[in-house]
Chains A and B, each alone.
Chain A
Amino acid sequence: KAGVTQTPRYLIKTRGQQVTLSCSPISGHRSVSWYQQTPGQGLQFLFEYFSETQRNKGNFPGRFSGRQFSNSRSEMNVSTLELGDSALYLCASSLMTGNEAFFGQGTRLTVV
């Protein structure tokens, strides 16, 4: 069974630009969560979607947003990029609750 797929794997953007990252969950999984991973802060929760609804949100500014489609695929968007947004962005899928989550390989975003 296919795992969680994230695209693209690598991105380089300039400060002030915006970026959209994509995540395809494991087939049958309806919960999709997003995390930011940095060396200093570790893995931090961004938000979680289930049945196209955001059920939970972490402590990130409004520049970070997301959505989920009817086929459970999800996207996250970061507007007005800052240097500090450089990180590995990870998507995780689970059946229902967000527990027992399976992660994708991540998108490494570099902001210059």
Chain B
Amino acid sequence: QKEVEQDPGPLSVPEGAIVSLNCTYSNSAFQYFMWYRQYSRKGPELLMYTYSSGNKEDGRFTAQVDKSSKYISLFIRDSQPSDSATYLCAMSSHNAGGTSYGKLTFGQGTILTVHP
């Protein structure tokens, strides 16, 4: 079983729709959670970063973390064709020995298409 599970989609929605992207994880040591957007032939772009349960909002994006259920979500409001990309969740832990430094564990990515 993978440490991080993400529905690969593909997900196709009309412009203006609310998009919900989700990841589940099994490692309870994960404390830091990120969402990245990756366009074709580009590097991942950091969208959201959070380290506590609850919601964090940034413009049209809302990240939600539920540590008790080991579940994170990214909501995109008023989706645009320019949002069409692969969305990756990523997580990390930080133990006292420091052996988790720098290591992000990624989901497989969800391919999103927003059509006009």
B104 contacts A33, C-beta separation under 8 Å: yes
Residue B60 CB within 8 A of the other chain:
no
B100 contacts A43, C-beta separation under 8 Å: no
User: A97-B102, A100-B32, A101-B104 known; 13 other A-B pairs, CB under 8 Å?
Assistant: A31-B101, A32-B102, A33-B103, A43-B88, A43-B90, A45-B102, A49-B102, A55-B98, A56-B101, A100-B49, A102-B46, A103-B43, A103-B44
Contacts of B46 in A (CB 8 A): 100-103
Contact among A4, A32, A35, A100 for B34, CB-based, below 8 A = A100
Residue B99 CB within 8 A of the other chain:
yes
A: interface residue count bin: 20 to 34
Contact among B36, B99, B108 for A56, CB-based, below 8 A = B99
B32 contacts A99, C-beta separation under 8 Å: yes
Q: Report which residue of B34, B43, B45 has the largest number of chain A beta carbons within 10 angstroms of its beta carbon.
A: B43
B: interface residue count bin: 20 to 34
Q: Considering only CB atoms, which chain A residue lies closest to B31 in the complex?
A: A99
> Once A and B bind, how many residue pairs between them come within 8 Å at the CB atom?
79
Residue A105 CB within 8 A of the other chain:
yes
Which B residues form the contact surface with A (CB < 8 A)?
32, 34, 36, 41-46, 49, 51, 88, 90, 92, 94, 98-109
Q: How far is the CB of A70 from chain B (nearest CB, A)?
A: 18
Q: How far is the CB of B11 from chain A (nearest CB, A)?
A: 17
